[in-house]
Homo-oligomer: A and B are copies of this chain.
Amino acid sequence: MPWAGIGKVDRKYDGTNLRVGIVHARWNSEVIEALVNGALDKLKELGVKEHNIIIESVPGSFELPTGVRMLANKVDVVIAIGVLIKGSTMHFEYISEAVSHELMKVQRFMRKPLIFGLLTCLTDEQAQARAGLTSDGHNHGSDWGAAAVEMAVKVEEHPTLW
């Protein structure tokens, strides 16, 4: 009964042998770029080699699940990054919901973990803060990079049932 310490990180992870895919939408490019860079920095910090990282883009967040499928055969884990901002129609709600469900399910088809990097914000400022672009912000891309390495290592260690 290994009782891992409960906190931000449960142990050290080594990404040296991992292949990681990043798929990002291109709307809200400044925020997206910061998030992708945040993820990249963390991946490298954890030992992932540059030539083992593939980055691909898709036009918008609805295309993210298909973008994930493009990379699924080449990598051990995929980070899907998109930024949705509430507008005056209900587009935000229906896209957010459909994409969230499919990003969850795509793991079954890939038989690999997916890191959910979709920001669903009510304002531009919320998105900027979550990309570390405000003085009190924090770049969530960094968390996603860490989660990608951890999940890829863990599903390998366990006899994971997909």
A42 within 8 A of B: no
The listed residue (B10, B32, B122, B146) touching A90 by CB distance below 8 A is B122
Please, could you name 24 A-B residue pairs with CB atoms under 8 Å apart, sorted by A?
Answer: A2-B54, A6-B24, A6-B29, A6-B32, A6-B36, A8-B29, A10-B26, A56-B154, A58-B151, A62-B104, A69-B161, A69-B162, A70-B155, A73-B158, A73-B161, A88-B126, A89-B119, A89-B120, A89-B130, A90-B120, A90-B122, A91-B120, A94-B120, A101-B104
Give every chain B residue within 8 A of A50 (Cβ-Cβ): 1
Chain copies in the assembly?
A: 5
Complex Cα spacing A146 to B103, Å: 23
A152 nearest CB across to chain B (Å): 11
